[in-house]
Amino acid sequence: MKPIVGTLIVFGTLLGGYLPHGSFGILIQPLEVVIICGGAFGAYVIANPGWVVKAGFSGAIGTMKPVPHNKELYMELLGLMFVIFNKARREGLMSIESDVEDPHNSELFNSAPKIAADHHAMDFIADYLRLMISGASNPYQLEDLMIAELESHHHEAMMPAGAVGEVSQALPAFGIVAAVLGIIVTMSYLDAGPLEIAHHMSVALVGTFLGILVAYAIVAPLSNELANRAHAEGEFFNCIKTCLMANLNGYAPPIAVEFGRKSIPSQERPTFAEVDEHIQSLK
């Protein structure tokens, strides 16, 4: 919703300032759009792996939805961490082995439906619990492994945002290309009247206008939004890591969950009382 509101503000203010003195019809130039957007899309496809191209489009569509890593999701995560740690502490690590081996069909994991729907988070939690069950108890080595995996995951998550950002930088240049082509077309009308020449010059200038507008009003903000969501996902995984490491270092389940709570960004962080009330309801 936020990108839609922002786009409406941009176009509303631009058209509101232009239309009292200009013609809307001259701005409707489908061939200019084909040149600019088609050229930028082609460059985007050439420059990036197929999965990045696909992720860029799916991520752009996903920005129409609210950011998933919100306070509600963090509360569900902390509740799941508590339930897992509490069961392992009371009944032993082997009691969660069947849940870890098949987390997607585990009643324990499916008690947190939002987490269960995120296969990356599910796999991350299950993989490190599996390592702990298998005897990998050195906290320094496991933390180094988690950091390496999260850095790799974050790098991949940022690639679509970077690719879209490169498109935003290229769009003004494609706008200039469209304008130059428009000037070339105009040259063939030099023997026409001044109004005809002025019309073709206006069409050529619209190419530059559209390239700059699409770059800085749509694509660049979209790139920033994709990057913001990738960072939010990184913070979410860091919370999981903090909980797991606190548990591995021997802290009681409520304390391990509190470690995780403190690692949550302040704008999404639930209070101690909220988390305590939530985990009490799960006992």
Look at residue 104 in the predicted model and tell me its pLDDT: 86
- The model's confidence at residue 130, banded by pLDDT at 50, 70 and 90, is very high
Q: pLDDT (tens digit, 9 = 90+) per residue, 221-232?
A: 999 999 999 999
- The model's confidence at residue 16, banded by pLDDT at 50, 70 and 90, is confident
- The model's confidence at residue 275, banded by pLDDT at 50, 70 and 90, is very high
Q: pLDDT (tens digit, 9 = 90+) per residue, 28-59?
A: 888 899 999 999 999 999 999 999 999 999 99
In this predicted structure, the answer to whether residue 22 has a pLDDT above a threshold of 80 is: no
Give yes or no for a contact between 154 and 234, defined as CB atoms under 8 angstroms apart: yes
In this predicted structure, the answer to whether residue 118 has a pLDDT above a threshold of 80 is: yes
User: Is 11 part of any domain?
Assistant: no
d(CA 184, CA 21): 27
Give yes or no for a contact between 109 and 103, defined as CB atoms under 8 angstroms apart: yes
Domain count, the chain: 1
In this predicted structure, the answer to whether residue 138 has a pLDDT above a threshold of 90 is: no
Residue 248: partners with Cβ closer than 8 Å, 6 or more residues away: 132, 137, 139, 142
Look at residue 37 in the predicted model and tell me its pLDDT: 92
In this predicted structure, the answer to whether residue 166 has a pLDDT above a threshold of 90 is: yes
- The model's confidence at residue 189, banded by pLDDT at 50, 70 and 90, is confident
Give yes or no for a contact between 171 and 211, defined as CB atoms under 8 angstroms apart: yes
User: Is 70 part of any domain?
Assistant: no
User: Is 28 part of any domain?
Assistant: no
Report the amino acid identity of residue 212: I
Q: pLDDT (tens digit, 9 = 90+) per residue, 94-106?
A: 899 998 998 888 8
Domain of residue 227 covers: 75-282
In this predicted structure, the answer to whether residue 177 has a pLDDT above a threshold of 90 is: yes
d(CA 19, CA 211): 19
Give yes or no for a contact between 33 and 210, defined as CB atoms under 8 angstroms apart: yes
Neighbouring C-beta atoms of residue 145, cutoff 10 Å: 15
171 against 14, higher pLDDT: 171
User: Is 58 part of any domain?
Assistant: no
**Exposure class string for 234-272: b at 16+ Cβ within 10 A, else e:** bebbbbbbbbbbbbbeebebeebbbbbbebbeeebbbee
User: Is 1 part of any domain?
Assistant: no
Tokens of residue 148, six digits: 């390496």
User: Is 52 part of any domain?
Assistant: no
User: Is 113 part of any domain?
Assistant: yes
User: Is 33 part of any domain?
Assistant: no
Q: pLDDT (tens digit, 9 = 90+) per residue, 202-249?
A: 888 898 999 999 999 999 999 999 999 999 999 999 999 999 999 999
Section 73-99 average pLDDT:
92
Residue 170: partners with Cβ closer than 8 Å, 6 or more residues away: 40, 43, 215
Element (H, E) at 206: helix 194-214
Q: pLDDT (tens digit, 9 = 90+) per residue, 193-203?
A: 888 888 888 88
Helix (H/G/I), strand (E/B), else coil: 22: coil
Residue 6, CA distances (Å) to 15, 62, 222 in order: 14, 16, 11
Give yes or no for a contact between 109 and 130, defined as CB atoms under 8 angstroms apart: no
Q: What is the DSSP letter of 219?
A: I
Look at residue 2 in the predicted model and tell me its pLDDT: 78
